[in-house]
Amino acid sequence: MKVPFGTISVTQESKDLIKKILDSARISSGKYVKKFETKFAQLLGAKEAVALSSGTDADILALAVLYDFGANRGDEVIIPALSFVATGNAVLHAGFKPVFVDVQRDTLNIDPDKIEEVITAKTRAIMPVHLMGKPAEMDKIKKVAKQHGIYVIEDAAEAHGAKYKGKEVGIIGDMGAFSLYIAHIVTTGEGGIVVTANLEFAEILRSLRSHGRACKCKECVINTSDQACSLRFKHGTDIRFFFERVGYSSKMNEMEAAIGLGNLKLYDQILEKRRFNFFYLHEKFQKFSPYFKTIKIENYEEIGPHAFPIILEEGVTFTRNEFVKYLESNGVDSRSLFLSMPTQAPGFSFLGYRLGQFPNAEYIGNNGLHIGVHQDLEKEHLDYFLGLTDSFLKERCDKRG
């Protein structure tokens, strides 16, 4: 049996719409991107949503907004040591310095009790990551941020559908950045999106995604209709070539939006299936507790399952890589559970962190993996994986706990 890690759901409606877009020869960001933004904002209860070319760009541009509010190049942004590397890359690409905090092993998320000790006069934001779709401890994070007058930008790349104390993640902080990559619950193939309640933030994001130009209306009449722009010569020259800030080229295109519009219609169905798969594994996996652990679930949160995380317990007589190879040889695809960015990812070595500074992130980096729980997996796929895990342990361990 094959158990792939990810999938993508593309509706017939999306396929028909893509053909219509191609036939129109108007494929750059336009009315369908705007429609997708509106529907995504409605899904979360957000006031504004700005669609972008990737989840990484969503992080980058959300951070770059802060330059309009007094931030300077080289200022600091606090992030968890454990995450997909895009989180750390985004901070650097936005022109800031990442400051890392260790995570908690049973949540995979930033340890909120360790944040305050790394805040300095140069700290401008905290970027918690809701890893694997498990919400970070937002009450504690927001309290620290408020005390120090800094922003909270949620990296909700993997957390579509997750809720913290009744609130959708992504709209709890000042901004929330989502990935719309293939493996996620809402996808446009590639793509990302930032949500916010701050209308000025949204205007700046629309400028940033298009080279920093002065065009930042919520709906561009040129791109979404055949109307003339009444603001075109507001600055004495064509507004499309008047640049207010250093920007990026990060627009979503119409075909990606078409995939997303169809995907949103399946949202409830996909989320329900992923939650069933996740919680089925979460319950059944407890019998392997002497050897493996996964994240704990609190009664005040709802998981937006990206995947099912697994961490080897200390003292087991096998390695993560041995288990992964066994799964792979039997048709089960998996991914490592990321790395401690500052100490296990060579690209960040110039920052000067030393191995041992982030013990929980480093342990997970050496001993963690995750498998898919996506909507194309059925109960028999999950049972097959559980059976393989049981067989592996029987082969490798003398005694069962």
Domain co-membership, 310 together with 251: no
Domain-terminating residue out of 221, 239, 265? 265
Q: Which positions ≥6 away from 77 have C-beta within 8 Å?
A: 63, 91, 94, 96, 97, 98, 99, 123, 124, 125, 126, 127
Considering 265, 293, 314, which residue would you say is the last residue of a domain?
Answer: 265
CATH number of the domain within which 309 lies: 3.90.1150.10
Domains in the chain, number:
2
Helix pair angle (379-396, 320-329), 10° resolution: 130
pTM score: 0.94
Q: Residue 125 belongs to a domain with what CATH number?
A: 3.40.640.10
Q: Judging by beta carbons within 10 Å of its beta carbon (0-12, 13-18, 19+), is residue 226 exposed, middle or buried?
A: exposed
Dihedral (CA of 290, 295, 297, 300) sign: positive
Residue 289 and residue 261 share a domain: no
Assess whether 237 and 307 both reside in one domain. no
Is the residue at 4 inside a domain? Answer: no
Whether residue 91 sits in one domain with residue 69? yes
Q: Are residues 353 and 220 in the same domain?
A: no
Q: Which of 318, 316, 300, 307 is nearest to 282 (CA)?
A: 307
**For the chain, how many residues are written?**
401
Query: Looking at the domain assignment, is residue 121 inside a domain?
Result: yes
Among left, alpha and beta (phi > 0; psi -120 to 50; other), residue 336 is beta
Sequence-ordered alpha helix ranges (H) in 74-194: 86-93, 138-148
Residue 3 lies in a domain: no
Same domain for 281 and 136: no
Q: Do the beta carbons of residue 255 and residue 51 sit within 8 Å?
A: no
Residues with a known catalytic role: 184
Give the residue from 369, 348, 345, 340 showing the smallest Cα distance to 102: 340
Stretches where the chain sits below pLDDT 70 are 216-222, 224-225, 228-231, 233-235, 398-401
Q: Encode pLDDT of 352-361 as tens digits.
A: 999 999 999 9
Percent of the chain with pLDDT over 70: 94
Domain that holds residue 358: 267-396
Same domain, 122 and 233: yes
* Tokens, residue 280: 């089925």
What's the one-letter identity of residue 187? T
With contact defined as beta carbons under 8 Å apart, do 77 and 99 qualify? yes
* 3-state helix/strand/coil string of 244-299: CCCCCECCCCHHHHHHHHHHHHCHHHHHHHHHHHHHHHHHHHHHHCCCEECCCCCC
